[in-house]
A and B are shown apart, each in its own frame.
Chain A
C-alpha cells in the first residue's frame, strides 16, 4: 500500500459526459501528479500541483482540468468525454517539488471507460 488513495476504482460513462477523479496523497506529501495510461502506452504525465499551485503541465487536453485543495487532495476533471479518453488514470504524490529529488508514490489508479 503506497498510502495514495484514488476514487473511484472504476468509472463507466458515455461520450460527452463529465467526470471527476479524486486523489488523496500520502500524509506529508505536498506534490500531486496526474498520469494517463492508454492501451499499450506508457504513463503520460498530465499535470502537477504543489501545495495547491499548478507547477508543471504535460500533455493535458484543454477539456481536462485539475486542482489541489487546501487539505492537499486533488481532483482531475474530464469533460466532453470522447472514446479515446478511456484509460487508466494514476495519481502520484511526493514530498517535494522536483522529480529528481523525490520518489513518486502511485495510487492504484482509476479505470475510465467511455462508451
Chain B
C-alpha cells in the first residue's frame, strides 16, 4: 500500500520557468515531510523539509507547500535550471517515526 504517491512520473520544463512537483499522502499521522533529489548513480540527497505546523518553507529557489486538509504537498523550483534535472522523491514520516515513506519519484528535465 503506497502511502505517499507521486502521480507524475516525469515533468519537462523550460529553463527559467517554474517547476511544480506534486505529492499526495494518505496517512493522517504524517507530521514531517521532505523532498530528496537524486542524480543517476548517486544516492538521494536531502533538499528541503516542512513540518506539519507550517504550510510553507523556502530555501533559495526551492519552496515546499503543505496542504494538510488535502493531504498534498508540492515543491516549487523557481527559476528552474538545467542542473535541477534529476529525480525528485517526496517522503513523509510521523513525528515519532523511525522511517520515511517515499513516493515513486518524478523525473524532472529542465530544457536549456
By a beta-carbon cutoff of 8 Å, the part of chain A in contact with chain B is 2, 4, 33, 35, 40-45, 48, 55-56, 58, 90, 92, 97-100, 103-109
Contacts and interface: CB of A to CB of B under 8 A. Distances in A.
Interface string B73-100: 0000000000000000101011111111
Interface majority SS (helix, strand, loop, mixed), chain A: loop
B89 A42 contact: yes
26 contacts: A2-B43, A4-B43, A41-B104, A42-B104, A43-B44, A43-B102, A44-B102, A45-B99, A45-B102, A48-B98, A56-B99, A98-B95, A98-B98, A99-B93, A99-B97, A99-B98, A99-B99, A99-B100, A100-B32, A100-B97, A103-B46, A104-B100, A105-B45, A106-B43, A107-B43, A108-B43
Interface residues of B, number: 30
Contacts of A45: 99-102
Contact of B98 (A40, A97, A109): A97
